[in-house]
Amino acid sequence: MTKAAALLLAGSLALAACASDDESSSGGTSGGGEGDLKVGVAYDTGGRGDKSFNDSAIAGVEAAVKEAGGDVTEDIQELSPNADGSDRAELLTQLAENGFNPVIAVGFAYGDIIGDIAAEYPDTQFAIVDTSVSEMGVDNLTGLVFAEEEGSFLAGVAAASKSATNHVGFVGGQESPLIAKFQAGFEAGAQAVKPDITIDVKYLSPAGDPSGFGDPEGGKVAAQGMYQAGADIVFHAAGGSGEGVFEAAVEAGQRAIGVDSDQYLSASAEQQAVIMTSMLKRVDNAVQGYIEDFAAGDLEGGSDILNNLETGGIALSTSGGFIDDIQGVIEDYRQQIIDGDIEVPTTP
């Protein structure tokens, strides 16, 4: 078993939620040995401090660097894209030129460009979260992919089991095949429990526009509309915009479901009272495992590493105890998915 696989079976890591945007400017060697590991991170929209996707990724990076005996302030360089994401290629190029190795691209928005850039820097290992690379034919590129639909199915099971109004909602960040997987799984899980349940759906930005992941006000307005229409639980897959969903839940006295990280752990006390669970997408474990495999010389590039319910890379959080009473129901559906008795859809 590789370290990547082993880490996916490990327990939760404490996720960093610092809103710092500081960047290390240190150069680095090619890595692969204790003390010389230099990791470059190109964030998704919102950067560090989203208390979700990006924070989970950097937590995994920092854990790997510490494990290798490195210094997280000197051996990591973090870069964030501009507002429209047009400089993503420049970020990856800058990290490679500065000698960071490996380079981690956080998010599917890098998918159209990372193959070409990795090919230009064959001595640097690259990884991308949320994009399959198995058909790109680039030996120094690894895809860290997730079965988001499986965890979202369980979130739907939890929402339907707990809903008193038979009405729930889903807020997505950007219209895209990736976020559609969250929607599809959530709807299927909710309908498995209550076939006649009402499910409201709202995306914050259209395809090609990543702003929906950094729009807390938009997330709040979307969730407010759902609560006002009768929903009592809203699940978000919207990155930093989820903060607005939680604010709306607090004001409405209703419940919300977080995503990626265990968002209960980084929430305020009033928000903790409404975050029923989070769909855990263990980006931290996947990234840490990838880097540790790189450092150990065990990395096999040119392929994907799948994280799902069976590997432990996807799960539901139990912080706060709000779903303790339905763990039997959740576990039954979880096992059916693992056994192949339930095939979770990836499109709505």
In a domain, 89, yes or no: yes
Question: Which pLDDT value is given to residue 3?
Answer: 44
Domain match, 171 and 232 both: yes
Instruction: Give Cα separations from 8 to 16, 32, 158, 307 (angstroms).
Output: 18, 21, 23, 7
Domain match, 156 and 231 both: yes
Domain match, 115 and 196 both: no
Domain match, 192 and 226 both: yes
In a domain, 75, yes or no: yes
Domain match, 299 and 329 both: no
Domain match, 248 and 286 both: no
Domain match, 126 and 178 both: no
The H or E element containing residue 42 is strand 39-42
Question: Which pLDDT value is given to residue 52?
Answer: 82
Residue 300 CA to residue 284 CA, distance in Å, equals 19
In a domain, 347, yes or no: no
CATH classification of the domain holding 254: 3.40.50.2300
Tokens 């302030």 identify what position?
73
In a domain, 346, yes or no: no
Question: Which pLDDT value is given to residue 168?
Answer: 98
Domain match, 218 and 85 both: no
Question: Which pLDDT value is given to residue 205?
Answer: 97
Question: Which pLDDT value is given to residue 45?
Answer: 87
Domain match, 261 and 136 both: no
Residue 52 CA to residue 258 CA, distance in Å, equals 8
In a domain, 123, yes or no: yes
Number of domains in the chain: 2
Domain match, 331 and 268 both: yes
In a domain, 313, yes or no: no
Domain containing residue 85 = 3-146+282-307
Cβ-based neighbours of 64, under 8 Å, separated by 6 or more: 37, 39, 287, 288, 291, 292, 295
**pLDDT tens digits, the chain, 348 residues: what are they?**
444 444 444 443 333 333 333 433 333 333 344 447 999 999 998 899 888 889 999 999 999 999 999 999 999 999 999 988 899 999 999 999 999 999 999 999 999 999 999 999 999 999 999 999 999 999 999 999 999 999 999 999 999 999 999 999 999 999 999 999 999 999 999 999 999 999 999 999 999 999 999 999 999 999 999 999 999 999 999 999 999 999 999 999 999 999 998 999 999 999 999 999 999 999 999 999 999 999 999 988 899 999 999 999 999 999 999 999 999 999 999 999 999 999 999 999
In a domain, 345, yes or no: no
Question: Which pLDDT value is given to residue 19?
Answer: 35
Domain match, 34 and 139 both: yes
Cβ-based neighbours of 325, under 8 Å, separated by 6 or more: none
Domain match, 247 and 257 both: yes
Question: Which pLDDT value is given to residue 138?
Answer: 96
Q: What are phi and psi of 43, to 5 degrees?
A: -75, 165
Residue 97 CA to residue 85 CA, distance in Å, equals 20
In a domain, 312, yes or no: no
